[in-house]
């Protein structure tokens, strides 16, 4: 057992905030409940429901949670069920900023600065200075709704090129006011995201690097982390990457383009990604614990609060190494999708290793349907997708 602020977990494992795409109508579903209950029954210390937008403008996908009073009863069903299995429940709160489209979020996407986002693709409107306090209040209100829904913790998403990250990164922040320019100015928006109350654990997911030239690098990221400690975070989740610029820096490996486009509904997007996808989403080689070297730098600089390691953990051997290096907790996403009971197996098998082959089929499918491991599907995949997955897993 170990603690994050006021919360004590039964062990050091956390299901990472990996988007499930299981929320039609932007509300919790039976599928979402069943998945998180399976992870809780599988022995994890805490499971994290992934990406709940703090406003409608913060939605980046159709099947994504949007925090509002009417979904509280459905969320309460999930937290009650998770607690019955002995695990704690967390929810990731965020705003996608420019990573959306009017057809999804209902308005012209907003961000730190105006411009054009090729990822969507769409024009983006920079937030006006007078809009920032209201956006900060939306985060605070979502924390209160999470408390009402029975969550033990919230994870604020300040990485991966979403809204807070867009303010922090020089790549996306071109503002000329006091919220742009120097790192001190770029951190001003983040500073209003303070912990609400003392009865919930507040984790913050933050980048260690943006993952490309022109983005935020590790020296600035360490300063951001130290400011988060000052602002009252109970733990930091150390990640990296920018979904709109360096998506596979976050997840590693290759994006299975055939699988991804197979499920797309928009015909022109389907064929466009088929033609240029491998250049738009370049491969970044996978290795176990791929963020560990950078995370160790943060461990030497930050002693006041727990640090959560995430990124490429699939074996007990590497998890033990990370914990022995001084990280209080570990997060896993794909490993617990592949095997929800993996944590229970870690207890009994010294050489336990999950069966994830890192083809990233689960991510390719997630954008359109839901996050699912190809090894657990009821339907049979087309032969072309089977061959793509086999090729990627045998690289």
- Find residue 157's DSSP bridge partners: 205
Note whether 333 and 291 are within 8 A (CB). no
Cα–Cα distance measured from residue 231 to residue 106, given in angstroms and rounded to the nearest whole number: 32
Cα–Cα distance measured from residue 279 to residue 257, given in angstroms and rounded to the nearest whole number: 11
Out of 35, 51, 139, 162, pick the active-site residue: 162
Burial class (CB in 10 A: 0-12, 13-18, 19+), 48: buried
3 state SS of 157: strand
Cα–Cα distance measured from residue 116 to residue 122, given in angstroms and rounded to the nearest whole number: 6
Mention every residue, 6+ apart, whose C-beta is less than 8 A from residue 374.
Answer: 359, 361, 362, 381, 385, 389
DSSP string covering 301-320: H--SS-EEEES---BHHHHH
Answer yes or no: 367 catalytic: no
Element (H, E) at 323: helix 316-324
Residue 313's closest CA among 87, 14, 46?
Answer: 14
Residue positions annotated with a catalytic role: 162
């Amino acid at each position: 057992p170990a603690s994050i602020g006021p919360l004590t977990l039964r062990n050091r494992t956390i299901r990472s905030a990996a988007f499930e795409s299981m929320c039609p109508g932007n509300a919790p579903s039976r599928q979402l409940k069943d998945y998180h209950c399976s992870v809780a029954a599988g022995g994890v210390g805490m499971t994290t429901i992934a990406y709940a937008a703090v406003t409608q403008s913060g939605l980046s996908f159709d099947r994504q949670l949007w925090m509002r009073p009417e979904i509280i009863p459905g969320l309460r069903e999930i937290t009650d069920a998770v607690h019955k299995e002995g695990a704690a429940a967390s929810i990731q709160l965020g705003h996608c900023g420019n990573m959306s489209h009017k057809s999804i979020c209902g308005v012209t996407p907003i961000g730190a600065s105006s411009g054009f986002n090729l990822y969507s693709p769409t024009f983006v409107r920079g937030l006006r200075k007078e809009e920032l306090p209201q956006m900060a209040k939306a985060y605070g209100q979502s924390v209160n709704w999470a408390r009402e829904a029975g969550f033990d913790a919230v994870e604020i998403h300040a990485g991966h090129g979403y809204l807070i990250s867009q303010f922090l990164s020089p790549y996306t922040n071109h503002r000329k006011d006091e919220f742009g320019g120097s790192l001190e100015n770029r951190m001003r928006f983040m500073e209003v995201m303070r912990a609400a109350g003392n009865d919930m654990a507040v984790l913050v997911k933050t980048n260690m690097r943006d993952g490309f030239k022109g983005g935020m690098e590790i020296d600035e990221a360490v300063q951001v982390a130290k400011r988060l400690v000052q602002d009252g975070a109970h733990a930091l989740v150390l990640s990296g990457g920018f979904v709109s610029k360096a998506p596979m820096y976050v997840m590693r490996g290759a994006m299975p383009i055939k699988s991804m486009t197979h499920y797309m509904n928009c015909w022109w997007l389907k064929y466009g990604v088929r033609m240029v996808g491998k250049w738009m989403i370049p491969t970044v080689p996978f290795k176990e614990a791929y963020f560990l070297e950078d995370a160790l730098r943060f461990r030497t600089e930050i002693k006041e609060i727990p640090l959560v390691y995430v990124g490429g953990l699939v074996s007990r051997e590497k998890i033990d190494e990370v914990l022995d290096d001084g990280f209080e907790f570990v997060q896993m996403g794909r490993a617990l999708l592949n095997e929800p009971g993996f944590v229970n197996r870690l207890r009994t098998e010294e050489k336990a290793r999950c069966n994830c082959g890192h083809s990233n089929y689960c991510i390719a499918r997630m954008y359109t349907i839901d996050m699912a491991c190809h090894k657990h599907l009821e339907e049979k995949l087309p032969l072309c997708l089977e061959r793509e997955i086999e090729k990627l897993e045998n690289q």
